[in-house]
A and B are shown apart, each in its own frame.
Chain A
Amino acid sequence: EPEVTQTPSHQVTQMGQEVILRCVPISNHLYFYWYRQILGQKVEFLVSFYNNEISEKSEIFDDQFSVERPDGSNFTLKIRSTKLEDSAMYFCASSDGLGRAEKLFFGSGTQLSVL
C-alpha cells in the first residue's frame, strides 16, 4: 500500500538554527499538508499546499515557516530560526480528494527537538 514517508524520524537542533523536514507524499496525490503535535496537546494544522502554492495556513505558520515542493516527489517544511516551542512531532500528509476533507494519509512524523 502506498504511504507517505518522512525523514528524518528524529531531528535535534539548537535554538536559532534552521531545520528542513522532508516528506515524500503518495505519488498521485495533489494536496499536501503539514500538521504538528506538541507533546500532550492536539494535532494542529499548519499549512496546506496545492498547485505549487499555499492554499491555507494557520496562525502558527508565521514567517519563520516555509514550504516547498522542490521537485516532483518531495515536499519540505523549513523552519528558519527554531525556537524551543517548535519542539513537536511534525506530520506530513497528502490526499487526492480534490482538496476536500477526504481522508488524509499521514506519514509517521518527524520528532523535532529544539535545545
Chain B
Amino acid sequence: DQQVKQNSPSLSVQEGRISILNCDYTNSMFDYFLWYKKYPAEGPTFLISISSIKDKNEDGRFTVFLNKSAKHLSLHIVPSQPGDSAVYFCAASNYNQGGKLIFGQGTELSVKP
C-alpha cells in the first residue's frame, strides 16, 4: 500500500534553519491531511493538519503546504529547534472514512545544535 509516501527516511538540519519534510500521495479521494510527530517509546502526536480546500495552514513555527495538482504536501519548520528531532509522519484521510488514517513511512528529523 503506497498511497502515502515519504521518500526521505531521514533529514538533518542545523538549529535555526528551515526543515522541509515532504509527502506524496496517490489517492485523489483523500481530502484531509495531517502531520504527526513521534518520539521513541511514545505514540504519534498530532502536529498540524490541512483540508483539501486549502493550500496552506500555519501554526506557529509549523506550516503545511498542499499542492493538490501535484498530490504533494510539505511541512516547514522555521526555525528548527533541537527539540524538534523526532520521526514525522504524514497521514491522509477521506472525509467519509473518519479516523482511518493512511500513514507514510515517516521521516526522521535530526536538528543539530
**Chain B positions 54-113 with a Cβ under 8 Å from a chain A Cβ:** 89, 93-95, 97-106
Total number of A-B contacts with CB less than 8 angstroms? 70
Give the contacting residue for B32; candidates A45, A48, A56, A101; CB below 8 A: A101
A9 to B101, CA, bound (A): 23
Give the size range of A's interface with the partner. 20 to 34
Contact string against B for A residues 22-40, beta-carbon threshold 8 Å, 1 for contact and 0 otherwise: 0000000001010100000
Tell me the minimal C-beta distance from B50 to chain A in angstroms: 11
A45 to B44, CA, bound (A): 13
Report A-chain residues with C-beta under 8 Å of the C-beta of B45: 106
Give the size range of B's interface with the partner. 20 to 34
Tell me the minimal C-beta distance from B20 to chain A in angstroms: 21
Q: A109 touching B100 by the CB < 8 A rule?
A: no
A101 to B33, CA, bound (A): 8
Q: List 30 A-B contacts (CB under 8 A).
A: A31-B98, A33-B99, A41-B105, A42-B103, A43-B44, A43-B101, A43-B103, A45-B101, A45-B102, A48-B100, A58-B100, A91-B43, A93-B43, A93-B99, A95-B99, A99-B98, A99-B99, A101-B32, A101-B49, A101-B95, A101-B97, A101-B98, A101-B99, A101-B100, A102-B49, A102-B99, A103-B46, A104-B46, A106-B44, A109-B42
B-side interface residues toward A, CB under 8 Å? 1, 32, 34, 36, 41-46, 49, 89, 93-95, 97-106
